[in-house]
Amino acid sequence: MDNTQRFGYGLKFENAFLRERGKAFETLFARIMAHAHPGDFQPVRPYGPRGDLKCDGYRASDGTVFQCYAPDAMRVDPLLAKIDEDFNGAIQHWAARMQRWEFVHNDQRGLAAQAVQKLADLGTANPNVVLAVCGEAELRAIVMSLALHQLEDLFGAVPSDRTLERLDFAALRPVLLAIQRKEPDTHPPLAAPSAAKLDYNALSQDAAGLLRQGRRREQLVEAFFAAWPDPDFGEEIAQGFRLRYQALKGAGLPADEIFGELQAFAGGMTGEPARQGAVLAVLSYFFERCDIFEDVIRVDVT
């Protein structure tokens, strides 16, 4: 897996982790674990009035019972109640088989101190069971250890270094024409996927890495605009990006969410890798021109 693919799948995982809630998050987790532990991890789904016996997945090799919790908003009291109910329920239903209990959650910020204390207390009271927590960092490590064909099955294809190297005018043209035809969205999505706000203009490592990779084809985009018969074409595209960026920033979205929305505005990171590569090259071009995101303000102190 090359750098462009690594950054691409890192960002796709982050988007999925922040987007999926409830059963959808459980499904995402189960699919990831089935790839990471084939023939060992078993997803569990509820049957009849007894439900899933407080287990969303079971790994036979080490007797781990997994429990997922991915609410729309993480609140301390429901979180503590969930941990207590699910662990004690698992003890009741899986006592003869459970050596580990792993709590899987979707809070990018990490668990509240009270939840950490609750887990420590449960571990002390139940010394025969190992307690563990799986959040974004732990799940990301599992995802990024998967083989390329497994990542493609989970998240679809992404561009590679080779895709960008082979990019040509034919791939850029439909992307740029599609952007030109779009009307600015006066009502961008207002709900960010995470309550935590990123620092001013701070993109994640994956988003920043993709922009750096896209710069490899910056000259191709520039040459495309230079060769286009309408000299105002490039400025029309730039203005479309500016308006879209300003609307998203005004809605208070964090930097990575803005980046994802701009990807969608440019055509999205789905479909053929060559088309995704063209979207990435166009985004990188306008990023470097400061049409999207803010330039660093340098103060002369001399």
Q: 3-142 sits in which CATH class?
A: alpha beta
Domain boundaries, the chain: 3-142, 159-288
Mean pLDDT of 184-194: 36
Q: What is the pLDDT of residue 51?
A: 64
Q: What is the pLDDT of residue 264?
A: 85
| pLDDT tens-digit map of 43-59 | 998 765 556 789 999 99
Instruction: Please give the Cα distance from 214 to 212 (Å, whole number).
Output: 5
Is 80 exceeded by the pLDDT of residue 299? no
| pLDDT tens-digit map of 110-143 | 999 999 999 999 999 999 999 999 999 999 999 9
Is 60 exceeded by the pLDDT of residue 295? no
Highest mean pLDDT out of 122-131, 192-201, 211-220: 122-131
Mean pLDDT of 257-281: 85
